[in-house]
Each structure stands twice: as C-alpha cells, then as structure tokens.
Chains A and B, each alone.
Chain A
C-alpha cells in the first residue's frame, strides 16, 4: 500500500509539471493558432538559464526564479511571437509547423552553444525537507510542484473568464480584425499569451529538471507529454488539459512501478506519454472538412523529363569521376549524401506535393535499414522487401490518424519517431541499446558490389532513379490529384476521392522511399545503429528540406548533401556545433514561409545568368543562336516561380 501511495505521489508530481507545460501550450495555440513544437525546447532553454542564474552565478533561488519566470521567459516569449510567429496565423499548418520545428532546433543549438555539454545539476527546492504522511514521504519540491499546478490552473481560469484581457485573448482567435474595431489590441493578446505560455514552459522545465536532469533532448521532448495532455482537451479545454496531465503523470509513474524493469519492455516506460497520445488521438471524434476559398501554393515548375534525365546522367557521371579522385572515406560521405537525398525525396512527395508534414522520415529509414541488416545475402529483392516493410509501417502510422487533419497527423509522426527511437530501435531484437548491427553490401544481378567507390556510384544511380520516379508521379495523374487534394480536400471528396486512403497511400509511398534510403544507407555504411535514425535527425531533415526547397528534386539533392556534411562540420569545429544548428533552425524559420526554398532562388539566378549569356551572345555574334543546351539554368528539379501569380482569391 505504501508503494502504491508513493507511486501515486510521484505521478501527481510529474502530472502537475505536465499540466503546467500543457496549459502553456494550449494558451499559445488557442490564442494565436500556432502549435508551438518548440514549447519543450523553450522549457529546456529557460531551465538552463535558471541553472546559470542560480548555480553558476550563485544568485539566490528566489531571485533566479523571479528573474526567469517573470522577466526572461515572458520577454523571450514576446520576442519570439513578435519576430517569428506573427503573420503565421493565416499560413497553412505545414508552414507554422516548419517554423516552430526550426525554432526547436535553433533553441537546441543555442543551448549547446551557450552551455556546452557538461555535468550540471539543479537541486530540488528546499532539498532535504520532507513531510511524512504515515509511511509516505513527500518532498517539499513535490508539494510545491503540485501546489504550483493548482495555482496555474486557478490563475488561468480567472484570467480567461474574469478579465477583459483574458476575454480579449479568446476573442482574438475568433476575429482579430473585429477586436481591433472594438478598440482592443489583438497583437497584445497574442503577445500576452506567448509571454504566459513561455513562462509556463519555463516553470515546468525548472520543476522537472531536478528529477530528469538538465538535458538538451529530454526536456525538449516534454512537448510530447504536454501535447498528449492537451489533446485530451482537443487543444482548447484547460480543465481537460489539466486532467490529461495528471492522468499521464500517474500512468507513467505506475508504469515505472509495476512494469518489469528489465528486458524489451524496459523502454515501454519511457514512451508512456506517446502511447497515451496515440490512445487519445484514436478516440478523438472526426474533424469536419473545412470549406474555404480558392487557395493555391506558388510552386516550382516541373521540368521536362528529358532535361531531368540529362541532369541525372550528369550527376551520375560526376559521382563516377569523383570515385576516381576521392579517398573511400570521402566517397562514403558522398554516398551518405545520396541516401539522405533519397530520404529528402520522400519528403518532396509527402510535404512538397501532398502538403503533409512528417517528423519521422528517419524512423522509416531506420525500419528499412533494420530489415536490410537482418538479410543474409542482400540483393535487389531484399532491398525491395526492406522498402516494402518501411512502407507498411508508414501505412500503419497513418491509419490511426486517418480521420484527423494536418496538425494532428504531423504531431502523431513526432510521437511515432520517439516511440521507434526509444522502444523499438534500442531493443535487443533491433539495434540494441547503444549497439550496432552489421550489414553486408548488396549484390546486383548476381554480382556483389564491394568497393566503396562503386557502391557510392550505385547510391547516386538510385537517387537519380527515385528522383525520376518522383517526377513522373508529379507530372502524371496521381501528381495532379495530390496537388488538388492539397488545395481543397473538400472539393476532392465531392468529386469522389477517398481522402483517407490517399493519405495512407501517400504515407506508405513516402515511408517506402525513406525505407529504401535506409536500406541503401545500411549497405553503404556496413554498420548501423539506433543513433543513425533518432527523431532529431528527422527534424534536421525537414528543416534542410525546407531551407533548400521541399517542392523540387534539386532541393532534395542539395539538402541531402548538406545534411550529410552537417555532422562532419560539427565534429571538425566542436566549438561551433551549436551554432550550426542555430543557423539551420533560424534559417528554416526565415525561409519556412516559402516552400520552394533556396533551390528556387538558384533557378531564378540561373535564369538570369542564361538570359544575360544569351543577350551577350546575340550582341557579339549577331544572327547566330546560342548552341542548344547552354541556354538553360539548372532545371533538374524545378523552375522559377511565375511572379505574376498571386495566391488566394
């Protein structure tokens, strides 16, 4: 009985912290309609700030707490809202997701840059003080946390129902323009919500740190717990959110207490929030289709197949040339870039064409790699089977969330990525905890390809083939249907399209491509481990895809190269490891509004260069034409955007 009471108490403590974090998430989401994926990362950064104040600089605890919760965090929240988030409320869900994922990665970068990895600890409040109820011992820290959640719940309730500012916060969701006509200030309402929300994230982070440690990633993943709790209230109801937080904390605590501590189920305890989240999502009622206006996305033009084939051939020849010039170590990197490029292509299909965001592409790649590594004598058939396995898993992820729309689907993939990371990949039947699996190189048509150079050429060939397949899909009927469904699901359904199966198909296809890439990667590297397919890499992938252009195949190629080189750069310049993430994260925040990315700007540049060249040519050699094939910019993936097209009606 004593044990049960203790677990209940620990559960209430964790649940209280989850509730605090979740209520902040709900507040910012419902006031500004931006789901802040970086909510946990904010808690993490401000927990570090609190450590800096209270431990490194030795300020008194109360002063550090006041400074962080009432000054630094609210100001930070307002700045974020003003600089990055305002103007996003009318943007598609995919854009606001990308921007906040960029924020998440950027914040992790900031934390690693300012506070490089080292052992740090934050003591509990009033460490050592306990209260005993019979045989149950309660620390003051636990009591304070539970009390704090009560204060937050009561305070928010009063704010939202009894004050004009709180009512204005709710009104600004409904109709910001009208609020302004009424003499209210919608921007202030948004800023206030972000100030309070960020402060609550900081509070949750600080309260949890003594228990889970001051880590970059664990605290960042607090967003999943908060999201799970918030989902119980459909991201709108605060009482249900608090209930969800408490239920989640208790479930997790009982799991720790009563599930077996060893074996493959050990990982289960860490993923209770994720499982909880899936359960809530599956039980949620269906969201109705929205009737909107004519909306289009200005996308890159699709290249002709001949020119795409030409560029593909050029790429393969380039890699063949490199294989004679570079050391195997460098070739390995080129091959890795090609496999990453293929994972990018899976996002081009899903996000660029289909408009759905996935935060789990590397988990699908991991499934492919795992399946491939289990093969004794891999060949093309084995490769296909590995891709098929990943594809089936992709379909399985999409099916439970079939009835839900963009935001929930994307967040479900984040939860899935964490689930795979902690529960599957690290278990003994997969890669094992910190372990690796050996994989053999594949044989093609009976001949085993052993050399790293030739294997890399094979990777490039696969990249080009997949890229061509993606382009064929885009140019064909299926591509047209994908774009149509992205623009108006409602119209598609009344034309006879079963959206649910389109979504499952898209996820399956995209996961299959990612799985193929994972299998190729396993063959290339010859050893693969769980760390190759962590959830964080999927976030980096998405950001790279967005920065370089998620609507074009060229963007995928460039993104793949940079994603492969990122860890190399970080390893070579350890002092700047965090800065690299900051640049990537905030780069994505800046470019997130334009899905065509840098690749498209290159096309514009290429066009300009070719026009200039053409003009010069005709000026110098009047009467002649520019030789064919030279008057084109790089249009492997896409072409410039027609400037006169205006999105929206």
Chain B
C-alpha cells in the first residue's frame, strides 16, 4: 500500500487551556477526497489549522507524504505543496483579481499560465480582472481562492467551509470545480457543515465530535452516523 499523503497520529491541540483536539488519528490516501464532517465546535477547522501549520499541535505527529511536518511553518508547508482555502474568502480584498492571481504563481509556474488557467475555468474572473477582489461577490471571491488550488498544482488541498454564505447554485458550481481538481489526481480534505453537499463528492467521510474522529467510512455508510451526530450537536 502506498504512503498516505496525510497522516495524523494522536494529534492534540489547544487554544490556551482549552483542548480542542483530543487525539485525532486520520489517514488521507493519496488521490482521495476526504470529507471532514461534524457539528459546530467539533474541531474541524482547528484540525485544518494544525495541518496547515497555523497552530502547533501540543502532542502527536503530522506526516505529509511520509515526512513529519509537525513543526513546519505555514510558508514551508505551502512551498511543500499544501494549499489551503481558508474559511471565509481566502483573497486579498484590496488587490485586484490579477494581482491576487500573481501572488498565487508559486515557484516554477509562470504568472501568465496561472492567469490563463484561472480565466479558462472561471470566465467571470476574466471579466473582473481589474476589479479589487474585495468588491467581488462572495461566490466570485471563492472562485478566486479556488483558482489558487487549480494553478499551484498542490499535492494536498484543504477546503474549509467553501459553501459558507453562498447561494446553493454557486455552491454546486464550486463543487463541480472541486470534483475536476480531484479528477486530476489531487488529494483533497473538505471541511463542510452541509453534509449532503460534501458526501456527494467524497471517497471517504470522517465524522468528528468533541475533538476526536468518531467514524471513518464510505459516504453511504456514514449517512446514519451523520444523522445521530448532527441531531445531537446542532440546534
């Protein structure tokens, strides 16, 4: 069996004295789409913060493609092929669309190629290329943030609440793109509040509650567990 692209071993993490992750074990096989589901406060976003280097794990280990990255900084991880689309619009609001794309051109990818790819996938961005990103609609901002995932050719893509605050039609459009990224062989971890949306596109689903992974399984196996978890936790 090949080395998983991401492996978490008994990861603990805390904000001050409050422990949010209490021993998370998770394997993301190379090329798989894993959905991370669970109610508010389960620790999903915290888990992504630990994986992307924004929050240090207090215990446990994180491996990316077999290498321990527990102490790596966000910048180092980004240069090692990890891309995160953070919760709530991962764009620079006072920069134009074009400038945002320029920043996405990581080492080795020429800026012109980044722009071409982005504009081909999302023609709407081309129409607004001179506009400041902060003046785009929420959906267009997420397209721009996703463009990075498209163009920087990451090994592992983390998507945090992509659908937040967006109309259903736009969410569908965005997840179509996610599916095509996955088809190109990129491993993806999707954090979603809306279970149905995520279950439609994932290979594996992990359910989190109280800082631990409750269950991992194929999307159709997870359905019943999901109902229990969500009804217990959500209002």
Q: What is A's interface to B at a CB cutoff of 8 Å? A: 164, 167-168, 170-171, 173-175, 177-185
Determine whether the beta carbon of B94 is less than 8 Å from that of A184: no
Q: Is B95 an interface residue (CB 8 A)?
A: yes
Determine whether the beta carbon of B94 is less than 8 Å from that of A170: yes
Q: B107 — which chain A residues lie within 8 A by C-beta?
A: 183
A178 CA to B99 CA, complexed, in Å: 14
Return the contact of A178 from the options B73, B86, B102, B111 (Cβ within 8 A): B86
Q: A287 to chain B: closest CB distance in Å?
A: 16
Q: B157 to chain A: closest CB distance in Å?
A: 12
Q: B86 — which chain A residues lie within 8 A by C-beta?
A: 178, 181
Contact status of A183 and B106, CB under 8 A, knowing A171-B99, A177-B54: yes
Return the contact of A164 from the options B52, B90, B103 (Cβ within 8 A): B103
Nearest A residue to B93, CB-CB: A174
Determine whether the beta carbon of B99 is less than 8 Å from that of A180: no
A429 CA to B193 CA, complexed, in Å: 74
Q: Is B79 an interface residue (CB 8 A)?
A: yes
A170 CA to B96 CA, complexed, in Å: 11
Q: A177 — which chain B residues lie within 8 A by C-beta?
A: 54, 74
6 A-B residue pairings within 8 Å (CB atoms) = A171-B103, A179-B103, A182-B148, A183-B75, A183-B79, A183-B106
Q: B197 — which chain A residues lie within 8 A by C-beta?
A: none
Determine whether the beta carbon of B92 is less than 8 Å from that of A178: yes
Interface string of B63-104 (1 = CB under 8 A from A): 000000000011100110000101000111111000110111
Interface residues in B88-142 (C-beta closer than 8 Å to A): 90-95, 99-100, 102-107, 111
Sorted from nearest, which 10 A-B pairs have the closest CB atoms?
A: A183-B78, A174-B92, A171-B92, A180-B74, A167-B99, A183-B79, A167-B102, A180-B75, A174-B94, A181-B74
Contact status of A181 and B93, CB under 8 A, knowing A164-B102, A167-B102, A171-B99: no
Q: A184 — which chain B residues lie within 8 A by C-beta?
A: 75, 103
Nearest B residue to A182, CB-CB: B103
Determine whether the beta carbon of B95 is less than 8 Å from that of A170: yes
Chain B CB within 10 Å, residue with most, of A167, A170, A174, A181: A181
Q: B95 — which chain A residues lie within 8 A by C-beta?
A: 167, 170-171, 174
Determine whether the beta carbon of B103 is less than 8 Å from that of A168: yes
Q: B52 — which chain A residues lie within 8 A by C-beta?
A: 181
A362 CA to B210 CA, complexed, in Å: 60
Return the contact of A170 from the options B84, B99, B111, B148 (Cβ within 8 A): B99
Chain A CB within 10 Å, residue with most, of B52, B86, B102: B102
Q: B79 to chain A: closest CB distance in Å?
A: 5
Contact status of A180 and B73, CB under 8 A, knowing A167-B103, A168-B103: yes
Q: A178 — which chain B residues lie within 8 A by C-beta?
A: 86, 90-92
Nearest B residue to A171, CB-CB: B92
A184 CA to B102 CA, complexed, in Å: 11
A177 CA to B91 CA, complexed, in Å: 11
Nearest A residue to B107, CB-CB: A183
Contact status of A180 and B94, CB under 8 A, knowing A164-B102, A167-B99, A167-B102: no
Q: A171 — which chain B residues lie within 8 A by C-beta?
A: 92, 95, 99-100, 103
A184 CA to B148 CA, complexed, in Å: 13
Q: What is B's interface to A at a CB cutoff of 8 Å? A: 52, 54, 73-75, 78-79, 84, 86, 90-95, 99-100, 102-107, 111, 148
Q: B178 to chain A: closest CB distance in Å?
A: 18
Other than A167-B95, A170-B92, A185-B75, give 18 A-B pairs with Cβ distance below 8 A.
A164-B102, A164-B103, A164-B111, A170-B94, A171-B99, A173-B94, A174-B92, A174-B94, A174-B95, A175-B93, A178-B92, A179-B92, A181-B74, A181-B78, A182-B78, A182-B104, A183-B106, A183-B107
Q: A185 — which chain B residues lie within 8 A by C-beta?
A: 75
Nearest A residue to B101, CB-CB: A167
A295 CA to B167 CA, complexed, in Å: 34
Q: A485 to chain B: closest CB distance in Å?
A: 28
Q: A649 to chain B: closest CB distance in Å?
A: 13
A184 CA to B77 CA, complexed, in Å: 11
Nearest B residue to A184, CB-CB: B103
Q: A164 — which chain B residues lie within 8 A by C-beta?
A: 102-103, 105, 111
A182 CA to B78 CA, complexed, in Å: 6
Q: A464 to chain B: closest CB distance in Å?
A: 44
Nearest B residue to A188, CB-CB: B75
Q: A173 — which chain B residues lie within 8 A by C-beta?
A: 94
Q: A181 — which chain B residues lie within 8 A by C-beta?
A: 52, 54, 74, 78, 84, 86, 90
Q: A37 to chain B: closest CB distance in Å?
A: 25
Q: A179 — which chain B residues lie within 8 A by C-beta?
A: 92, 103
Q: B54 — which chain A residues lie within 8 A by C-beta?
A: 177, 181
Q: B16 to chain A: closest CB distance in Å?
A: 9
A164 CA to B106 CA, complexed, in Å: 10
Return the contact of B78 from the options A168, A175, A180 (Cβ within 8 A): A180
Q: B113 to chain A: closest CB distance in Å?
A: 14
Q: B206 to chain A: closest CB distance in Å?
A: 23
Nearest A residue to B78, CB-CB: A183
A179 CA to B84 CA, complexed, in Å: 11
Nearest A residue to B84, CB-CB: A181
Chain A CB within 10 Å, residue with most, of B79, B103, B105, B148: B103
A173 CA to B95 CA, complexed, in Å: 10
Q: B173 to chain A: closest CB distance in Å?
A: 23
Q: A126 to chain B: closest CB distance in Å?
A: 41
A238 CA to B88 CA, complexed, in Å: 31
Q: A180 — which chain B residues lie within 8 A by C-beta?
A: 73-75, 78
Nearest B residue to A183, CB-CB: B78
Q: B102 — which chain A residues lie within 8 A by C-beta?
A: 164, 167
Q: A168 — which chain B residues lie within 8 A by C-beta?
A: 103
Chain A CB within 10 Å, residue with most, of B52, B73, B79, B94: B94
A174 CA to B78 CA, complexed, in Å: 19
A177 CA to B106 CA, complexed, in Å: 17
A167 CA to B104 CA, complexed, in Å: 11
Q: B52 to chain A: closest CB distance in Å?
A: 7
Q: A519 to chain B: closest CB distance in Å?
A: 49
Q: A179 to chain B: closest CB distance in Å?
A: 7
Q: B92 — which chain A residues lie within 8 A by C-beta?
A: 170-171, 174-175, 178-179
A344 CA to B142 CA, complexed, in Å: 52
A500 CA to B74 CA, complexed, in Å: 44
A183 CA to B80 CA, complexed, in Å: 9
Nearest A residue to B85, CB-CB: A181
Q: A299 to chain B: closest CB distance in Å?
A: 23
